[in-house]
A and B are shown apart, each in its own frame.
Chain A
Amino acid sequence: MTIVVPRHDEFRPFGSGLIKGLLVTMAHFVRSYGKRNLRVPGKEPFPGGRFGLFTVQYPEEHAPIPDRYRGLPILLYDDATGAELCTACMGCARACPIGIIHIEQGVDEAGKKIPYAQHFMIEYDSCLNCGLCAEACPFGSIVMDHHLETARTDREGFKVTKERLLRPISYYAQIAPTVWAEIREEAMKRLEGTIKRRPAGVGIVQR
């Protein structure tokens, strides 16, 4: 149950520990000129073992990104019809811990609310990448992107509006096939209902 760690008080010739350490690092030095222990996209995430260079040369090489990777949130629209999946249900805005999702629901001529987000803005610079918005979305509309290089020189550019948030479903199905497969059926079924409830021509992405 309890083991007492040995303190290595026994006699050893002086310097034996130092030399053992030197041999360990030398083995790494020599083997670092062998096969690279590198995580390459497309292959398994890491080849394993303790030897070989394991650094990824970033701008040229990219470490693999798993399907579930949580980048920044984006919105989806249907490829075929161009219909946005979002219905402005405010689920994501309520789920967001810091409240950076701002939605304004669209209204028709009569002033009645329709399931369509007139304005949709996310403050990317404050995003926690926690993914709670994507989890809360019952329509599969808001999902987490895999794009990493988001640096900008202007602050205003981080207030991302609908035009820059929208991506086609095919894009997301390509970067995260397994995650999309989980939510696809539900999302498509709900999209059909959403389109029926919207006036014609509303919530269609202009391409």
Chain B
Amino acid sequence: MELLIQGLNRWLGQALPNWAVVLIGMAIAITLIFVLAPLIFMFLTWLLRRGIARFADRIGPNRTGLGPFNKERTRQRWPLWGLLQPVADGVKMFTKEDIIPDKGDKVLHRIAPIAAVVPALMVFAVIPFGKDLSAVDLNVGVVYVVAVSSLFTLVLLVAGWSSNNKYSLLGAMRTAAQMVSYEVPMVLSLVVPVLFARSLSLNTIVSSQPGLRWYVFYFPLGTLAFLTYFTAALAEVNHTPFDLPEADSEIVAGYITEYSGMKFALFFMGEFINQFLVCALATVLFLGGWQGPGVGIGGPIGYLLSVFWFFVKAFALYFLFVWIRATWPRLRVDQLMGFAWKRLVPITLGNVLATGLAVVVWSLLRA
């Protein structure tokens, strides 16, 4: 952000007052996020569908793409591996009938899908996508991320309640219970890298992991924190094996049972972006963020490489999500809560305590 404003200043500084330059800079950053987030969402749905298909010995969507449109177009070469499938999905979603339950809370029913996307997009503001490439460098970035992303829970509760459907209500109740429980171990795991870096700023945390000194390799404390964070994050974004709020085989689709068309798609978007965000956050906090070979090179190459490494790591983590989704069954409500409170919370609490001790001892030794 600072970089952007500096550049704009150099370019427009003479013509415009300072506040206008800052405003233009903000507008550019917001536009970029608004473009980037749906693109990531589309790519993730494609990755999920193609990935799951391959795990199950299938091909997955391969009919949409920019291929030669002759009669035998798919015989030899699959056009672009169906990369345009999300676009086709989007078109389909737009053509669907928009259903609002008669007995539901109509206002809340309309608001919920919009509100589902907002917190997800807000988190994008602080994620460092590359070297010096974050929209805002908050010095309390971690706290901001946790605070904003937990809003999603509230939205799902609203969606489930406003639908006035028993399945939706069950789904919403499960969501609330699940997210409240898993927020605790997730935040406690996030404390570990924060203690290591002695900063709440995401940029500082990344720059304190140069080379391969990623916090996940700080055995055993960092590794354990990464594992617990990953597990809690799976639950936090309703992913298999903790996808109870939308368990299709039990409560149809949970809180989105009564949603159709683009509203349904918006919930999906919020969910997928949240999934990407927990991967991105794990990348930033444990896997060195944008650190990687070649980021030290000056000029645009270094910047591009840093972005490249960030996305490689984040999507690799998402692939792990897909892998798990293709393999494991789902837990039950009581088991889920038991796992959070009886296993994860004690482990993470102990981990935070040990990390704190280790950091203090280490600084004493150094001093």
Q: Give me the interface of A with B, judged by CB distance under 8 Å.
A: 18, 21-22, 24-26, 28-29, 32-33, 37, 51-55, 57, 60-61
Residues of B within 8 A of A61 (CB): 75
Complex Cα distance, B323 from A60, in Å, reads 30
Residue of B nearest to A50 (CB): B57
Residue of B nearest to A59 (CB): B74
Partner of A22, one of B56, B74, B75, B324: B324
- Across the interface, do B57 and A28 meet the contact criterion of CB distance under 8 Å? yes
Residues of B within 8 A of A28 (CB): 54-57
Q: Give me the interface of B with A, judged by CB distance under 8 Å.
A: 51, 54-59, 72, 74-75, 323-324, 326-328
Supposing A21-B328, A60-B74 touch, asked if A54 and B57 sit within 8 A by C-beta, the answer is yes
- Across the interface, do A25 and B326 meet the contact criterion of CB distance under 8 Å? yes
Further pairs besides A29-B323, A37-B57, A55-B58: 9, Cβ < 8 Å: A22-B323, A22-B324, A28-B55, A28-B56, A32-B57, A33-B54, A51-B57, A55-B57, A61-B75
- Across the interface, do A25 and B323 meet the contact criterion of CB distance under 8 Å? yes
Residues of A within 8 A of B57 (CB): 28, 32, 37, 51-55
CB distance from B281 to the nearest CB of A (A): 23
Complex Cα distance, B299 from A46, in Å, reads 56
- Across the interface, do B323 and A57 meet the contact criterion of CB distance under 8 Å? no
Q: List 21 A-B contacts (CB under 8 A).
A: A21-B328, A22-B324, A22-B327, A25-B55, A28-B54, A28-B56, A29-B51, A29-B54, A29-B55, A29-B326, A33-B54, A37-B57, A51-B57, A53-B57, A53-B58, A54-B58, A55-B58, A55-B59, A57-B74, A60-B74, A61-B75
A29, A53, A55, A57 interface centre (most CB from chain B within 10 Å)? A29
CB distance from A21 to the nearest CB of B (A): 5
Residues of A within 8 A of B326 (CB): 25, 29
Residue of B nearest to A26 (CB): B323
Partner of A53, one of B51, B59, B75, B327: B59
Complex Cα distance, B55 from A19, in Å, reads 15
- Across the interface, do B54 and A21 meet the contact criterion of CB distance under 8 Å? no
Complex Cα distance, B328 from A25, in Å, reads 10
- Across the interface, do B327 and A60 meet the contact criterion of CB distance under 8 Å? no
Residue of B nearest to A52 (CB): B57
Complex Cα distance, B322 from A25, in Å, reads 11
Residues of A within 8 A of B324 (CB): 22
CB distance from A149 to the nearest CB of B (A): 16
Complex Cα distance, B323 from A21, in Å, reads 10
CB distance from A134 to the nearest CB of B (A): 34
Complex Cα distance, B55 from A29, in Å, reads 4
Supposing A57-B74, A60-B74 touch, asked if A21 and B58 sit within 8 A by C-beta, the answer is no
Residue of A nearest to B326 (CB): A25
- Across the interface, do A57 and B55 meet the contact criterion of CB distance under 8 Å? no
Residues of A within 8 A of B59 (CB): 53, 55, 57
CB distance from A113 to the nearest CB of B (A): 50
Residues of A within 8 A of B54 (CB): 28-29, 32-33
Residue of B nearest to A14 (CB): B343
Residues of A within 8 A of B323 (CB): 22, 25-26, 29
Residue of A nearest to B51 (CB): A29
Complex Cα distance, B322 from A22, in Å, reads 11
Residues of B within 8 A of A51 (CB): 57
Complex Cα distance, B52 from A26, in Å, reads 11
Residues of B within 8 A of A22 (CB): 323-324, 327
